[in-house]
Amino acid sequence: MKEYATDVLRNVALVSHGGAGKTSLVEAMLFMSGAINRIGKVQDGNTVSDFEEEEIRRNISLSTGLLPVEYENHKLNILDTPGFADFIGEVISALRASDAALVLVDSVAGIEVGTEIVWNYCDQFELPRFIVLCKMDRDNAGFKRTMASLKNLPTGATFIPVQLPWGEKQNFKGVIDLFTMQARSADGKKSDPIPEEFEESALEARTNLIEAAAEGDDELLEKYLDGEELSSEEISRGFKQAVVSGQFIPVFLTASTANIGTIPLMEAIMELLPSPAKIAPIQAQGAQGAEELEPSSSETLAAIVWKTTADPFVGKLTYLRVYSGTLSSDSKVWNQSKDAEERLGTIHVLRGKDQLPVKLLHAGDIATVSKLSETGTGDTLCDKSHRVTLKIPNYPNALYSVAVMPKTQADSTKMGGALTRLSEEDPTLSWHQESSTNQTILNGMGDQHIDVAIRKAESKFQVGLNTETPKVPYRETITSEGSAAYRHKKQTGGSGQFAEVHLRILPLEDKDFEFKNKVVGGSISSGYMPAIEKGVRGVLKLGALAGYPISKVRVEVFDGKEHPVDSKAVAFEIAGREAFKLAFAEASPVMLEPIMDIEITVPQGNMGDVLGDLNTRRARVQGMESDRGRSVVTAQVPLAEIVRYVTDLRSITGGRGVFSMSLSHYQVVPPHVAEDIIADQKKSIAQEGG
């Protein structure tokens, strides 16, 4: 592919609630720009963007596709994100790399939960944006109704239609372009005069557009208020400023599968959205503190890795966005985040699964390189002589976890490696070994997210995994003081074993464990203390109540006895262990459970059901707020009660509720619940034993 200079680039993310029509829109753009000669369909699994096996199987996008659209000497880097809530991490990464966003709205459904979620992320990244009303050809599509639903978006900006529908539903023939005041039919290339019946409404709508343009620029506003007419160049300039500042948000219309509205939209992207040369100053951390970088090819390099994919055949693919300077194939760059030099091979511009080589990438451009050894998502690549770090976005905490088990012995040796590589390519996926439950835990955003990861482990890394609901990582501790003595004595044949330990245990506030030698008068030699501590630590790991780790205890050994011949370390280890268990039982032991802070956002109408449901989950509701038809509940809930809350909340709210959670603290499990946990543990020990 040819090189594109900074000012002819546009980096635009397509975001929406699931299924609004992003992949179909970019397919139409590729077709209209001549990159492909037939339009694929999502349901036929032959679009350029949804090319992965799992995407084809499910007919939805699962990861962000990078699709450069070359049109009229511009290159529009379109980032087609997945809309399904589980894959929000992909949306965040794409927005990080973009300079603007197209928020697609299904003109049958109007604003949906997913629209609001992506809207808020666009706000976080301060991106100028368009609204695109999609599927205008559908039976139940409604322009006025969908326009009215835009008021549900949390924004102070004003929505300005820049097009009107030419015909409705199945008769949606094209768009009436309020900039050119022409009717633009199916392929959009040819323009017709506006049909008479639309003339009046078009003139009226154009007045709003001109007012918005005037407000974008003081000079124009003065002219406008003086009653002078603005030229079309002035309207375009003023409107562009109003769009870039976020004051006005233009609304476009499309029916991508019928190929309507595509060309006017591409023209508007070139006309109204900023090139990477015109974005807000780029913040970076340099050697001397904060710096602002110039988005120019003549500066030194600063590029961010916004996405990585791992594939056993293609290897690692690194997606880069250059902010400053240029990047050339077969060169060396400095990875500031890893403090290491990387040698680049050929730079590729992607189009779905096709890799098109380029020699040089200008400031602002997006592309991929393969097989970088050190580099991972979020890293900054720069020039060794000018070291900078670019900001990485925050990703939400995991909402859904499973315990994973290898299917076979062979899978067991490969499991860790595969999970690590999958987590490397997805900032919202993580895994860890939970020592308290002895399980391998995979954390993600929802059941579909985890399901896709498990399938990838199988198809990409040939690792078969089974999953089950993870055990809750309970802990054990004490609530009062306790003391005990234990004598270990064994005399069989030759030399015997002898040790006696007296110890006391006390609750600790802010440390997990402390061990003190309080023996006076030398009843136990200090040389035996490490053995006693080892015995105690053995119990800490395994627990003494229901098999969960013990924390927040202080152990003081204050007396004991030893024998000149038979005492040895192993005897003290046993005596320490047993004395600790006895003292633990004396010290009013309890179970602790993780309590999560949770924030739930649901349509107001679902509030009653959600609160009723929380009541059954031992939740403590801490706050409730309602705004614009949506309610936000904050609460503290035991993890044990919300292990599958993502799925439950979706079913209570018909998919319209969302939540986030993070660990708050550990808290004593109520006695009746603890009894059940202890009984379960005894049962499973009995089963394992028998």
Which residues bind to ligand GTP, rule: CB under 6 A? 16, 18-24, 41-43, 60-61, 82-84, 134-135, 137-138, 255-257
Using rule CB under 5 A, residue 368 touches Mg ion: no
Query: With CB cut-offs between 5 and 8 Å by kind, which of Mg ion, ligand GTP, none does residue 135 bind?
Result: ligand GTP
Q: Shortest approach of ligand GTP to residue 28 CB, angstroms?
A: 8
Quote the CA–CA distance of 209 and 445 in Å, as a whole number.
41
Q: Shortest approach of ligand GTP to residue 96 CB, angstroms?
A: 19
CB–CB of 600/558 below 8 Å?
A: no
Query: With CB cut-offs between 5 and 8 Å by kind, which of ligand GTP, Mg ion, none does residue 41 bind?
Result: ligand GTP
Q: State both tokens at 170.
A: 């199945």
Give me the phi and psi of 29, to 5 degrees please: -65, -45
User: Quick one: which of 148, 164, 173 has its CA closest to 209?
Assistant: 164
Using rule CB under 5 A, residue 23 touches Mg ion: yes
Q: Shortest approach of ligand GTP to residue 57 CB, angstroms?
A: 13
Query: With CB cut-offs between 5 and 8 Å by kind, which of Mg ion, ligand GTP, none does residue 90 bind?
Result: none
Q: Shortest approach of ligand GTP to residue 47 CB, angstroms?
A: 7
Q: Tell me whether residue 41 or residue 387 sits nearer to Mg ion (CB atom).
A: 41
List of residues 6+ apart from 504 with CB closer than 8 A: 481, 482, 483, 518, 555, 556, 558, 583
Q: Shortest approach of ligand GTP to residue 254 CB, angstroms?
A: 6
Residue nearest to ligand GTP (CB): 83
Q: Tell me whether residue 25 or residue 661 sits nearer to ligand GTP (CB atom).
A: 25
CB–CB of 136/240 below 8 Å?
A: no
Query: With CB cut-offs between 5 and 8 Å by kind, which of Mg ion, ligand GTP, none does residue 84 bind?
Result: ligand GTP
Q: Shortest approach of Mg ion to residue 52 CB, angstroms?
A: 11
Report DSSP letters for 134-179, one per residue. E-TTSTT--HHHHHHHGGGS--SSEEEESEEEES-GGG--EEEETT
Q: Tell me whether residue 86 or residue 562 sits nearer to ligand GTP (CB atom).
A: 86
Report DSSP letters for 282-308, one per residue. EEEEETTEEEEE---TTS--EEEEEEE
Using the rule CB under 5 A, give the single segment among 14-22, 366-374, 558-566, 655-663 that binds Mg ion.
Answer: 14-22
Q: Tell me whether residue 63 or residue 149 sits nearer to ligand GTP (CB atom).
A: 63
Q: Tell me whether residue 50 or residue 379 sits nearer to ligand GTP (CB atom).
A: 50
Site for Mg ion (CB under 5 A): which residue of 10, 11, 12, 22?
22
CA angle 23, 10, 36 (to 5 degrees): 45
3-state class of 541 per DSSP?
helix
Report DSSP letters for 92-113, one per residue. HHHHHH-SEEEEEEETTT-S-H
Q: Tell me whether residue 62 or residue 327 sits nearer to ligand GTP (CB atom).
A: 62
Q: Report the relative pairing of strands 475-478 and 465-468 from DSSP bridges.
A: unpaired
User: Quick one: which of 402, 472, 466 has its CA closest to 680?
Assistant: 472
User: Quick one: which of 304, 298, 297, 305 has its CA closest to 283?
Assistant: 304
Q: Tell me whether residue 176 or residue 553 sits nearer to ligand GTP (CB atom).
A: 176
Q: Tell me whether residue 18 or residue 406 sits nearer to ligand GTP (CB atom).
A: 18
Q: Shortest approach of ligand GTP to residue 256 CB, angstroms?
A: 4
User: Quick one: which of 478, 412, 399, 487 has its CA closest to 445?
Assistant: 399
Using the rule CB under 5 A, give the single segment among 19-27, 208-216, 359-367, 563-571 that binds Mg ion.
Answer: 19-27
Under rule CB under 5 A, which residues in 49-68 are in contact with Mg ion?
61
Distances (CA, A) of 332 to 111, 337, 543, 619: 47, 15, 53, 55
Query: With CB cut-offs between 5 and 8 Å by kind, which of Mg ion, ligand GTP, none does residue 602 bind?
Result: none
Which stretch of DSSP H or E encloses residue 689?
helix 671-689
Quote the CA–CA distance of 306 and 91 in Å, as a whole number.
11
Q: State both tokens at 221.
A: 């506003």
Q: Shortest approach of ligand GTP to residue 132 CB, angstroms?
A: 10
Q: Shortest approach of ligand GTP to residue 83 CB, angstroms?
A: 2
Under rule CB under 5 A, which residues in 104-143 are in contact with Mg ion?
none
Residues lying near Mg ion in the complex (CB under 5 A) are found at 22-23, 61
